[in-house]
């Protein structure tokens, strides 16, 4: 804890695993004071005054909340009580890291975990975070990035994040903190716990310093003209545009390329959709990544579909809605 006498605030509905890890097990049960704020819908301008009013010292929320924060005028709010802030639930766009640091002087500490695993990769206290990186494996787990053939990925090579099982006959396969199975679902269990590893379904690559960099869910990777494109990289470039409040990148069917990149975008309230804006967005991504990665389809929406309790963007729901529109 950044302050033994501090007050910790985690944004998460109590029906979700994050509420346990972010409010109870690590904090309340260790006698830390936990701030609880009940709201029906997240509004940045109602949350931000809470820091000063209640002298909140540490904070954890999904990137969704921070994305909304940085599009507000943070100079209007007193965040000086805050000493430590971290994120969970989704990958953190570097632009969000930089803007929050600029406004508060606090480096956001990103972590990666699942309901099945708890926190398995993280920027822990004392580490120097690299903006956009999930950090390094929690010593509790033997985390490896594996290629589709089951061999370890090299430095900079994208593969699936997997956790090595120690003993196939022991509870939790000999790995404390790891789920036992999907209850009543033998098929999914066999697909996920196999070949001596728990397969997370998330892809990443590791740099020469051992830091993990998130690419996307296995299902979210876009296959276009022979290229494999991770949505997170493109979303991070889009978030650099001041008028993009939040966005989701998915693949839509295309007769020639198999799939093309689509960006579904929520604009800030002062910006109106237009053809000129679409051209500007496409050009910006072309210049910010590789030309083959730019979104050939851009759609503006009022809000993105998200999970109820954790605020994760549901790209699968967008793909489902797009099926009827783009399937020939």
Q: Are residues 250 and 175 in the same domain?
A: no
Based on the fold, state whether residues 15 and 100 are members of the same structural domain: yes
Q: Which residues contact 281 (CB under 8 A, 6 or more apart)?
A: 238, 241, 244, 263, 265, 295, 298
CATH of the domain at 96: 3.40.50.980
- Residue 270: exposure state from Cβ atoms within 10 A (0-12, 13-18, ≥19): exposed
pLDDT digit string, tens, across residues 215-234:
988 888 898 888 889 899 99
- Is 245 within a domain? yes
In a domain, 124, yes or no: no
Q: Specify the CATH number for the domain of residue 322.
A: 3.30.300.30
Within this chain, do residues 208 and 247 fall inside the same structural domain, yes or no? Answer: no
**The whole model's pTM is what?**
0.87
3-state helix, strand, coil in the chain (%, to 5): 30, 30, 45
Tell me whether residue 255 is in a domain.
yes
Instruction: Give how many domains the chain has, as a whole number.
Output: 3
Q: Which residue among 181, 215, 249 closes a domain?
A: 215
Q: Is residue 180 part of a domain?
A: yes
Token couple for 64: 């969704």
> Which two three-digit tokens encode residue 73?
């005028």
The answer on 154 and 83 residing in a single domain is: no
Would you say the C-alpha torsion 107, 73, 46, 96 has a positive or negative sign? negative
**Cα–Cα distance between 161 and 150 in angstroms, integer?**
11
Whether residues 290 and 258 share a domain: the answer is: yes
DSSP for residue 132? T
The two structure tokens encoding residue 181: 């199975």
222 near 250, Cβ under 8 Å?
yes
Q: How confident is the model over 31-63, as pLDDT tens digits?
A: 889 998 887 778 888 999 999 999 999 999 988
Longest dimension (CA), the chain: 61
Number of continuous H segments (helices) and E segments (strands) in the chain: 8, 17
Q: Contact at 8 Å (CB) between 90 and 113?
A: no
Tokens of 224: 């276009």
Is the same domain home to 205 and 246?
Answer: no
Q: Are 132 and 171 within 8 A, CB to CB?
A: no
- Note whether residue 2 is domain-resident: no
- Residue 274 DSSP one-character state: -
Q: Are residue 197 and residue 231 in the same domain, yes or no? A: no
Is residue 188, in this structure, part of any structural domain at all? yes
Instruction: Note whether residue 1 is domain-resident.
Output: no
> Tens-digit pLDDT profile for the chain (328 aa)?
557 789 999 988 777 778 888 888 878 888 889 998 887 778 888 999 999 999 999 999 988 899 999 999 999 999 999 999 999 888 899 999 999 999 999 999 999 998 899 899 999 999 999 999 999 999 999 999 999 999 999 999 999 999 999 987 777 788 988 999 999 999 999 999 999 999 999 999 999 999 999 998 888 889 888 888 989 999 999 999 999 999 999 999 888 888 999 999 999 999 999 999 999 999 999 999 988 999 999 999 999 998 876 678 899 899 998 887 876 5
- The residue from 215, 243, 260 where one domain ends is 215
DSSP 3-state of 153: coil
**Do the beta carbons of residue 261 and residue 234 sit within 8 Å?**
yes
Q: Which of 235, 280, 240 is nearest to 262 (CA)?
A: 235
How would DSSP label each residue in 12-63? --TTSHHHIIIIITTTGGGT-EEE----SS--HHHHHHHHHHHT--EEEE-H
Give me the CATH number covering residue 199: 2.30.38.10
User: Do residues 207 and 229 share a domain?
Assistant: no
Same domain, 319 and 227: yes
> What's the CA gap between 54 and 78, in Å, rounded?
11
Whether 77 and 142 map to the same domain: the answer is no
Cβ neighbours for 185, distance < 8 A, ≥ 6 positions apart? none
- What pLDDT score was predicted for residue 310? 67
The C-alpha atoms of residue 124 and residue 84 are separated, in whole angstroms, by 11
In this structure, are 11 and 101 located in the same domain?
Answer: yes
| Spatial separation of the C-alpha atoms in residues 19 and 9, rounded to whole Å | 11
Residues 169-197: pLDDT tens digits?
777 788 988 999 999 999 999 999 999 99
Structural domain including 58 reads 7-107
Segments in the chain forming alpha helices (H): 17-19, 44-54, 63-70, 94-104, 186-192, 231-238, 275-288, 315-326
**Cα atoms in the 13 Å half-sphere on the side-chain side of 277:** 17
Of 215, 237, 261, the residue that ends a domain is 215
pLDDT for res 165: 95
User: Is residue 147, in this structure, part of any structural domain at all?
Assistant: yes
* Residue linked to tokens 């940085």: 70
**160/228 same-domain check:** no
Please answer whether residues 68 and 42 qualify as being in contact, where contact means their C-beta atoms are separated by less than 8 angstroms: yes
């Amino acid at each position: 804890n950044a302050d033994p006498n501090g007050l910790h605030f985690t944004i998460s509905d109590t029906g979700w695993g994050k509420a346990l890890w972010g409010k109870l097990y690590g904090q309340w049960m260790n006698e830390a004071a936990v701030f609880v704020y009940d709201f029906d819908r997240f509004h940045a301008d109602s949350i931000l005054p809470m820091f000063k009013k209640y002298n909140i010292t540490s904070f954890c929320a999904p990137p969704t909340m921070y994305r909304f924060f940085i599009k507000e005028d943070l100079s209007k709010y007193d965040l000086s009580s805050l000493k430590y802030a971290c994120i969970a639930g989704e990958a953190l766009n570097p632009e969000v890291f930089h803007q929050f640091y600029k406004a508060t002087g606090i480096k956001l500490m990103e972590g990666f975990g699942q309901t099945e695993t708890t926190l398995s990769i993280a920027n822990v206290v004392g580490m120097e975070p690299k903006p956009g990186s999930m950090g390094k494996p929690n010593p509790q787990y033997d985390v490896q990035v594996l290629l589709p053939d089951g061999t370890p990925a090299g430095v900079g090579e994208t593969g699936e994040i997997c956790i090595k099982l120690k003993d196939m006959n022991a509870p939790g396969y000999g790995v404390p903190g790891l789920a036992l199975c999907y209850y009543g679902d033998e098929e999914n269990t066999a697909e996920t716990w196999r070949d001596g590893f728990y397969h997370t379904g998330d892809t990443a690559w590791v740099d020469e310093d051992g830091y993990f960099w998130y690419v996307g869910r296995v299902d979210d990777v876009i296959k276009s003209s022979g290229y494999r494109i991770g949505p997170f990289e493109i979303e991070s470039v889009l978030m650099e545009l001041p008028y993009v409040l939040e966005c989701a990148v998915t693949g839509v069917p295309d007769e020639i390329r198999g799939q093309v990149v689509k960006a579904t975008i929520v604009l800030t309230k002062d910006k109106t959709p237009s053809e000129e804006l679409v051209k500007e967005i496409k050009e910006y991504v072309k210049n910010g990544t590789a030309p083959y990665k730019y979104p050939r389809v851009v759609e503006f929406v009022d809000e993105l579909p998200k999970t109820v309790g954790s605020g994760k963007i549901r790209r699968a729901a967008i793909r489902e809605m797009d099926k009827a529109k783009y399937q020939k």
